[in-house]
C-alpha cells in the first residue's frame, strides 16, 4: 500500500466519520430554533421542555462533530502538503473564514445555551438558538466554498506551479458553490427533520411523552416536506450544473458510455467497466437530455469521450449516486404520507407510518454520505478538477506512519461512535421513562472523596 | 507596514489568543489531578471551563486556517513535517473533547475516572507539545530544498525543544492556576494558592534557563533585538507579568493575576516570534528558511483575508466578551450558578454519582 492510497483512505475515513454529524446538527439546530421561536412568542412550558430535550441530544452530537472536525482543519497540511502548496492561495481563505464567521459563533452560543440557558433573558435565549443555527449553516457555506473550488476551480492563474487567486468573490461563488451549498444544506434540514420524526415516532409508539413528541413530529414533518420538495429543484439544478461543468461526472452518475442525443434518464442498470456498457439499463427515453438542456435532441457526453485515465471511479460514483436517488424516492413517499396523515388529523396513532418514520430516522445521514461520495469519487482522478491529480498531491510521508494513524483514528472513532449512540439512546429512554432520570443525589455524594 | 507583516502580526494575535484563552483551560486540565481530589472539586473545575473551552479551541482552528490562507508553505511544510507529533496532539485534543463533554453523562465511578484520565492527558500533552513544536521551530529545522522537514519524529525531542516545551507547559499551568484562583473559592482556591508559588518559581527558573540556552545555542534569535531595540517590549512584557504575579496573588487580586499570567504567555510567544522575524520557519541552512515573503499567499489573498479578519474578529470579540460576562463570578455548582435551575434537570448540572 502506497502513501497516497493510505492518505486517501485516512482522509476518506475521517471525513466520512465527521460528515455523519454536521448535517444532523445543522438540521437539529434549525428544528430547535423553530421550537425556541414558539417558546419566545408563546412562553408555554411545553415548548421549553421540547427545546431542552432536543438541545440535550444536539449537544451530544455537536460534541462529536467538534471532536472529529479538529482533524479536518489540519489534515490538508499533514497529509496533502503538495495539494496545500498548490491551492493555498485560494483554499485556505474559506477555511479561515469558516473559523471567523462560523465556528466561533456556533461554539460560543452552544456553550452559552448549555451552561447559561437560565441566566439569560428569553429574548437572548431565542437569539442564541438562532445564532447556533446560523453559525452551523455558515460553516457549511464556507466549507462547501472550499470544496466547490476543488470541483470547479475558477478565478485563478497558474504561477510557479501554484494556483494564484485573481478574483476573490468569483472564487467564492464559483459555478458549483451555490448549487452544492443549497443542495447540501437542504439535505441537512431533511436529516434533522427525519431524526426528530424518528425519535418522536418512537415516543408515540410507546405512548410516552406524547405532547412533546406530537408537537415535534408536526414541526419535523412540515420541515421535511418543505425540504424534500425543495430538493427536487435543488438536486436537479445541481445535476444540471454538474452536466455543464463536469460532464464526465454526469456520465458516470448516469452510466452513459456513448455520447448521444435523446439520452434517457437512467433508473437502474449495471455498468460494466471492462466492456464499457451498462447492462439491463432501464430509463426514461430522452429525459436526461431534456432535463439538462431543455431539449431532448441535445447531446450528452458519454464516458468513452474521455480518456480512461481521466474517468472517475465509475462504479463507486454510479452506485453512490443511484442509491442516493433511490433513498430520495423513499423520502418523498414517507413525507407525503406523513403530510397526508397530518392534514387528515390521523398522524399520531397511525402505527405503520410511525414505524416507518422510526426506522428511517438515520437514513438521511447515510444518504448524505452517498451524496458526498458521488461528488468526490466523481471528481477523481483529480484533486482539483482538471488542474491537479490526486496522486501528485500527497505529503511525502512514510507509509507506516499513515498506517499507524489510520489504526488510531479507527480505534478512537469507533469508540466515539459507540459512545454517541449509547448516550443518545439513553437520553431518549430517559425521556420516555424507560430508565430513571439520573438521580440527583446532591451535595452529599459530591463531597465524598473519590479516592 | 506591508501586507505580509500585517499577516505575520495577525497570525501572532491568533496564536497568542489561543495560548491565553485555551491556555487557561489546558492549564486547568493539566492541574486537574492535583487540584481535583474530590468529586465536588472536579465538578467545579470542569464547570469553570465548561462554557468556554470549545470557543477557545476555535482560536486554534482559525489560527490553522489563517496560516493555511496567509502562509500556505508553512502550513504544508510544518504540519506534514511534524506528522506524528501533530497527530498525537490532534488525538489528544479529540479525547479531551470527549472527556469534557461526556464526563457528566457517565453514571459509574469507573467511567468518570477513565474520562478524568483522558481529560488530564488530553490537556497535558498539547500543553507540553505546543512548546516543543515552538522550540523546534525557533531553533531552526533541517529543511530540504522543497522546504520539507527531514529530521524525523525523534529529532523533535531534542533538549532545547524539550526545555521550551516545559517552559510552555508551566506557562499554561500558571494560566490555569490563575484562572482557578479567579473562578473558585474555599478549599479549591486555597489549594491553588498553595500551588501558585511552585508553578511561578518553576516558570521563572525555566524562563531564565531557556534564555541562557537560547543565547548559547540559537544566538540568531537575539540578532533582531540588537537591530530593533523596541522589540524588547516582548520580553519586557513577560518579565513584568512574572514580576507582578506573586504580589497580585498575595493581595488576592486574581483577575489582575490572570492578566499578568496572560501577559507572561503573550510575552513568551512574541519574544520567539519577533526573534525569528522575518522568518516563520527558520531552516538550519538559512537560504531555505520559510519567511513571511517566500511562504506567503498573493497580495490579493492577503488583502481579502484582511477584510475578513477586520470585519469578523471584532464581532467575535464582542460576543465572546458578552458570554464571559454572563458567566462572571465564582463557579457555583449547586445554586443558580452555571448549572441552572435543577428542577428542570438541566444538563449538565453535575448529577451525583449513583453508588
Helices (H), chain B: 3-35, 39-49, 53-70, 72-81, 83-102, 109-139, 159-183, 186-217, 220-227, 233-250, 254-276, 299-326
Contact B338, A116 (CB under 8 A): yes
- By three-state DSSP, how is residue B136 classified? helix
Q: For chain A, give the number of residues.
A: 451
- Cβ neighbours of A425 in B, within 8 Å: none
Contact B88, B121 (CB under 8 A): no
- The residues, ordered by sequence, that sit 6+ positions from B201 with a Cβ below 8 Å of its Cβ are none
Instruction: Output the CA torsion A96→A102→A104→A109 (10° steps).
Output: 180
CA distance B136 to chain A (A): 17
Q: Which of B75, B114, B321 to mutate to test the interface with A (most CBs of A within 10 A)?
A: B75
Flag if A71 and B94 touch (Cβ within 8 Å). Answer: yes
**Cα separation values, B181 from A153, B76, B121, B196, B248, Å:** 52, 40, 22, 9, 11
How far apart, in whole angstroms, are the C-alpha atoms of residue B188 and residue B179? 12
Contact A249, A379 (CB under 8 A): yes
- Cβ neighbours of A81 in B, within 8 Å: 76-77, 79-80, 148
Cα angle A55, A56, A58 (rounded to 5 degrees) comes to 60
- The residues, ordered by sequence, that sit 6+ positions from A206 with a Cβ below 8 Å of its Cβ are A432, A434
User: How many Å separate Cα B75 from the centre of its chain?
Assistant: 19
Q: How many alpha carbons fall within 13 Å on the CB side of residue A274?
A: 0
- By three-state DSSP, how is residue A279 classified? strand
Flag if B50 and A67 touch (Cβ within 8 Å). Answer: no
Q: In the beta sheet, which residues pair with residue A282? A: A268
Flag if A450 and B319 touch (Cβ within 8 Å). Answer: no
Residue A155 main-chain phi, psi, to 5 deg? 60, 50
Measure CA of the first residue to CA of the last residue in chain A; give whole Å. 48
Measured between CB atoms, which of A111, A440, A444 is closest to B54? Answer: A111
User: How many Å separate Cα A101 from the centre of its chain?
Assistant: 20
How far apart, in whole angstroms, are the C-alpha atoms of residue A16 and residue A316? 15
Reading chain A (451 residues) residue by residue, the pLDDT tens digits are 688 999 999 999 999 999 999 999 999 999 999 999 999 998 888 899 899 999 999 999 998 898 898 899 899 999 999 999 999 899 989 999 998 999 999 999 998 998 888 888 889 999 999 999 999 999 999 999 999 999 999 999 998 889 999 999 999 999 999 999 999 999 999 999 999 999 999 999 988 888 889 999 999 999 999 999 999 999 989 988 998 899 899 888 888 888 888 787 888 888 888 888 888 888 887 778 888 877 777 788 888 888 888 889 889 999 999 999 999 999 999 999 999 998 888 888 889 999 999 999 999 999 999 999 999 999 989 999 989 999 999 998 899 999 999 999 999 999 899 989 988 998 898 888 777 655 433 333 343 444 3
For B320-344, the pLDDT digits (tens) are 999 888 888 888 777 544 443 333 3
For residue A115, give the C-alpha cell: 451552561
How far apart, in whole angstroms, are the C-alpha atoms of residue A259 and residue A278? 13
Residue located via cell numbers 482556591 = B189
Contact A316, A322 (CB under 8 A): no
Long-range (24+ apart) CB contacts under 8 A made by B221-225 are: B221/B138, B221/B272, B221/B275, B221/B276, B222/B275, B224/B274, B224/B275, B224/B277, B225/B274, B225/B275
Residue A382, pLDDT score = 92
- Cβ neighbours of B300 in A, within 8 Å: 164-166, 168
Flag if A78 and B86 touch (Cβ within 8 Å). Answer: yes
For A183-236, the pLDDT digits (tens) are 999 999 999 999 999 999 999 998 888 888 999 999 999 999 999 999 999 998
Helices (H), A297-398: 314-344, 351-359, 363-377
Establish, for the pair of chains A and B, how many residue pairs have beta carbons separated by less than 8 Å.
Answer: 273
- The residues, ordered by sequence, that sit 6+ positions from A255 with a Cβ below 8 Å of its Cβ are A266, A269, A271, A278, A281, A314, A318
Residue B233 main-chain phi, psi, to 5 deg? -50, -40
Q: Are strands A277-284 and A162-165 parallel, antiparallel or unpaired?
A: unpaired
For residue B287, give the C-alpha cell: 537560504
**Cα separation values, B86 from A156, A298, B92, B107, B221, Å:** 31, 52, 10, 33, 25
For B118-169, the pLDDT digits (tens) are 999 999 999 999 999 999 999 988 888 888 888 888 888 999 999 999 999 9
Flag if A107 and B355 touch (Cβ within 8 Å). Answer: no
- The residues, ordered by sequence, that sit 6+ positions from A399 with a Cβ below 8 Å of its Cβ are A1, A2, A3, A6
Q: Which of B42, B59, B68 to mutate to test the interface with A (most CBs of A within 10 A)?
A: B68
- By three-state DSSP, how is residue A280 classified? strand
**Cα separation values, B25 from A35, A136, B319, Å:** 33, 24, 19
- The residues, ordered by sequence, that sit 6+ positions from A31 with a Cβ below 8 Å of its Cβ are A54, A192, A193, A196, A216, A219, A220, A223
User: How many Å separate Cα A285 from the centre of its chain?
Assistant: 32
Residue A327, pLDDT score = 94
Cis ω for the linkage preceding B255 (within 30 of 0): no
Q: In the beta sheet, which residues pair with residue A279? A: A270
Query: Per-10-residue mean pLDDT for chain B, 355 residues long?
Result: 90 94 94 89 89 88 92 92 91 91 82 91 94 92 87 88 95 95 90 93 95 91 90 93 92 92 95 92 88 90 92 92 88 59 38 36
Contact A99, A30 (CB under 8 A): no
How far apart, in whole angstroms, are the C-alpha atoms of residue A432 and residue A208? 5
CA-based nearest residue to B4, from B301, B231, B313, B220? B301
Measure CA of the first residue to CA of the last residue in chain B; give whole Å. 64
Measured between CB atoms, which of A88, A416, A447 is closest to B68? Answer: A88
**Cα separation values, B220 from A199, B5, B209, B217, B226, Å:** 63, 20, 17, 9, 11
CA distance A315 to chain B (A): 32
Flag if A119 and B326 touch (Cβ within 8 Å). Answer: yes
- The residues, ordered by sequence, that sit 6+ positions from A193 with a Cβ below 8 Å of its Cβ are A27, A31, A220, A221, A223, A224, A227
- The structure's pTM equals 0.90
Specify whether the backbone of B345 is left (phi greater than 0), alpha (psi in -120 to 50) or beta: left
Residue B210, pLDDT score = 94
Amino acid at each position: 500500500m502506497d502513501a497516497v492510497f493510505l492518505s486517501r483512505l485516512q482522509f476518506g475515513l475521517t471525513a466520512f466519520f465527521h460528515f455523519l454529524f454536521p448535517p444532523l446538527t445543522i438540521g437539529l439546530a434549525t428544528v430547535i430554533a423553530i421550537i425556541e421561536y414558539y417558546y419566545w412568542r408563546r412562553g408555554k412550558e411545553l415548548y421549553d421542555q421540547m427545546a431542552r430535550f432536543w438541545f440535550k441530544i444536539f449537544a451530544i452530537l455537536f460534541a462529536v462533530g467538534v471532536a472529529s472536525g479538529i482533524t479536518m482543519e489540519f489534515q490538508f497540511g499533514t497529509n496533502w502538503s503538495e495539494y496545500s502548496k498548490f491551492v493555498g492561495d485560494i483554499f485556505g481563505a474559506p477555511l479561515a473564514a469558516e473559523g471567523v464567521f462560523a465556528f466561533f459563533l456556533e461554539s460560543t452560543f452552544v456553550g452559552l445555551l448549555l451552561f447559561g440557558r437560565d441566566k439569560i433573558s428569553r429574548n437572548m435565549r431565542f437569539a442564541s438558538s438562532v445564532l447556533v443555527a446560523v453559525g452551523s449553516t455558515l460553516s457549511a457555506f464556507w466549507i462547501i466554498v472550499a470544496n466547490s473550488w476543488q470541483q470547479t476551480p475558477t478565478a485563478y492563474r497558474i504561477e510557479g506551479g501554484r494556483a494564484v487567486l485573481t478574483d476573490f468573490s468569483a472564487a467564492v461563488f464559483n459555478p458549483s458553490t451555490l448549487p452544492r451549498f443549497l443542495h447540501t444544506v437542504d439535505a441537512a434540514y431533511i436529516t434533522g427533520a427525519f431524526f426528530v420524526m424518528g425519535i418522536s415516532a418512537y415516543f408515540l409508539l410507546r405512548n410516552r411523552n406524547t405532547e412533546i413528541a406530537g408537537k415535534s413530529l408536526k414541526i419535523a414533518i412540515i420541515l421535511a416536506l418543505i425540504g424534500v420538495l425543495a430538493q427536487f429543484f435543488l438536486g436537479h439544478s445541481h445535476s444540471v450544473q454538474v452536466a455543464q461543468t463536469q460532464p464526465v461526472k454526469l456520465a458516470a452518475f448516469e452510466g452513459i458510455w456513448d455520447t448521444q442525443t435523446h439520452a434517457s434518464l437512467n433508473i437502474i442498470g449495471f455498468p460494466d467497466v471492462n466492456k464499457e456498457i451498462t447492462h439491463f439499463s432501464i430509463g426514461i427515453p430522452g429525459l436526461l437530455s431534456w432535463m439538462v438542456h431543455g431539449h431532448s435532441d441535445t447531446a450528452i457526453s458519454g464516458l468513452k469521450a474521455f480518456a480512461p485515465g481521466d474517468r472517475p471511479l465509475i462504479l463507486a460514483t454510479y452506485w453512490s449516486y443511484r442509491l442516493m436517488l433511490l433513498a430520495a424516492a423513499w423520502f418523498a413517499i414517507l413525507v407525503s404520507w406523513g403530510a397526508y396523515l397530518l392534514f387528515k388529523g390521523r398522524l399520531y396513532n397511525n402505527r405503520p407510518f410511525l414505524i416507518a418514520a422510526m426506522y428511517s430516522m438515520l437514513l438521511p445521514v447515510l444518504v448524505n454520505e452517498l451524496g458526498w461520495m458521488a461528488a468526490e469519487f466523481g471528481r477523481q482522478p483529480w484533486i482539483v478538477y482538471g488542474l491537479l491529480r490526486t496522486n501528485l498531491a500527497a505529503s511525502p510521508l512514510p507509509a507506516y506512519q499513515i498506517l499507524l494513524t489510520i489504526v488510531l483514528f479507527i480505534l478512537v472513532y469507533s469508540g466515539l461512535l459507540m459512545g454517541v449512540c449509547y448516550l443518545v439512546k439513553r437520553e431518549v429512554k430517559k425521556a420516555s421513562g424507560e430508565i430513571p432520570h439520573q438521580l440527583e443525589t446532591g451535595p452529599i455524594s459530591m463531597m465524598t472523596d473519590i479516592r | 507596514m506591508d501586507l505580509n507583516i500585517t499577516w505575520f502580526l495577525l497570525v501572532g494575535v491568533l496564536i497568542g489568543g489561543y495560548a491565553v484563552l485555551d491556555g487557561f483551560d489546558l492549564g486547568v486540565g493539566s492541574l486537574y489531578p492535583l487540584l481535583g481530589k474530590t468529586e465536588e472539586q472536579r465538578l467545579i473545575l470542569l464547570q469553570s471551563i465548561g462554557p468556554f473551552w470549545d470557543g477557545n479551541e476555535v482560536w486554534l482552528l482559525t489560527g490553522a486556517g489563517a496560516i493555511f490562507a496567509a502562509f500556505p508553505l508553512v502550513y504544508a511544510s510544518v504540519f506534514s513535517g511534524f506528522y506524528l507529533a501533530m497527530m498525537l496532539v490532534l488525538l489528544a485534543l479529540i479525547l479531551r473533547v470527549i472527556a469534557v463533554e461526556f464526563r457528566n453523562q457517565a453514571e459509574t465511578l469507573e467511567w468518570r475516572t477513565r474520562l478524568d484520565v483522558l481529560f488530564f492527558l488530553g490537556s497535558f500533552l498539547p500543553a507540553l507539545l505546543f512548546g516543543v513544536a515552538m522550540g523546534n521551530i525557533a531553533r531552526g529545522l533541517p529543511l530540504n530544498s522543497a522546504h520539507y522537514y527531514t529530521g524525523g519524529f525523534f529529532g523533535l525531542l531534542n533538549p532545547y525543544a524539550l526545555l521550551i516545551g516545559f517552559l510552555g507547559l508551566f506557562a499554561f499551568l500558571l494560566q490555569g492556576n490563575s484562572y482557578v484562583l479567579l473562578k473558585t473559592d474555599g478549599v479549591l482556591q486555597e489549594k491553588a494558592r498553595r500551588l501558585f508559588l511552585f508553578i511561578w518559581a518553576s516558570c521563572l527558573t525555566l524562563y531564565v534557563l531557556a534564555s541562557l540556552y537560547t543565547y548559547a545555542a540559537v544566538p540568531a534569535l537575539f540578532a533582531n533585538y540588537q537591530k530593533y531595540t523596541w522589540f524588547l517590549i516582548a520580553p519586557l512584557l513577560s518579565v513584568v507579568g512574572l514580576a507582578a504575579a506573586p504580589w497580585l496573588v498575595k493581595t488576592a487580586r486574581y483577575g489582575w493575576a490572570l492578566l499578568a499570567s496572560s501577559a507572561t504567555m503573550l510575552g513568551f510567544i512574541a519574544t520567539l516570534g519577533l526573534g525569528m522575524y522575518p522568518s516563520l520557519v527558520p531552516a538550519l541552512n538559512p537560504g531555505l528558511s520559510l519567511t513571511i515573503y517566500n511562504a506567503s499567499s498573493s497580495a490579493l489573498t492577503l488583502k481579502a483575508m484582511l477584510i475578513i479578519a477586520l470585519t469578523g474578529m471584532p464581532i467575535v470579540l464582542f460576543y465572546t466578551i458578552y458570554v464571559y460576562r454572563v458567566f462572571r463570578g465564582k463557579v457555583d455548582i449547586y445554586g443558580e450558578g452555571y448549572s441552572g435551575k435543577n428542577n428542570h434537570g438541566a444538563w449538565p448540572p453535575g448529577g451525583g454519582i449513583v453508588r
